[in-house]
Amino acid sequence: QVQLVESGGGSVQAGGSLRLSCAASGRTFSSYAMGWFRQAPGKEREFVAAINWPGNSLYYTNSVKGRFTISRDNAKNTVYLQMNSLKPEDTAVYYCGAATTVVMLQGRRGDYWGQGTQVTVSS
C-alpha cells in the first residue's frame, strides 16, 4: 500500500516557477514508477511526466519538455516536479501517481493516486 500527498501548488504569474512535491508512505516506494498528471476544468486528466523506479529514465509530454523536470529521492520517499517558464495553459490540478511501470503511467493508469494540488498561472 502506498499513500501519496502532493504539496507545493499555488498561484504564479506567467514565466514563473513552482516546485511540486509528492510524499509517499509505505516501504515499497522505491519499487514504483512515479508520475505527474494534471487536470484542467472540463478536461480529462493528462499525463505530464514520469520517472522509473531507479530515477534514470525520464518521460515528458511534449508541451512541458524543456520547462518541467521530474526527479525522485528514494531515500526520502518523494518525487518532485520542477516547473519553470509557466504558462496560463499549465493551470490545472496536479496529481502524482504510482504504478509498477512507466507504460502504465503514460496510459494514465496508476495503482495509487494523490489528492492533487492546484496550480494557477496568470497572464
Instruction: Tell me whether strands 18-25 and 33-39 are parallel, antiparallel or unpaired.
Output: unpaired
Residue-wise pLDDT tens digits, 98-109: 999 999 999 899
What is the pLDDT at residue 28? 81
Q: Which of 66, 75, 64, 1 is nearest to 35 (CA)?
A: 64
Calpha distance 108→88 (Å, rounded): 23
Residue-wise pLDDT tens digits, 11-69: 999 999 999 999 999 768 888 999 999 999 999 999 999 999 999 999 999 999 999 99
Chain-wide mean pLDDT for the chain? 95
Q: Is the pLDDT of residue 120 over 90?
A: yes
29 or 117, which is more confident? 117
Terminal CA-to-CA distance of the chain, rounded, Å? 40
What is the pLDDT at residue 90? 98
Strand partners, 121: 12
| Structural contact between residues 116 and 93, judged by C-beta atoms closer than 8 angstroms | yes
Q: Is the pLDDT of residue 94 over 90?
A: yes
Q: What angle do CA 28, 55, 12 make, to 5 degrees?
A: 100
What is the pLDDT at residue 30? 83
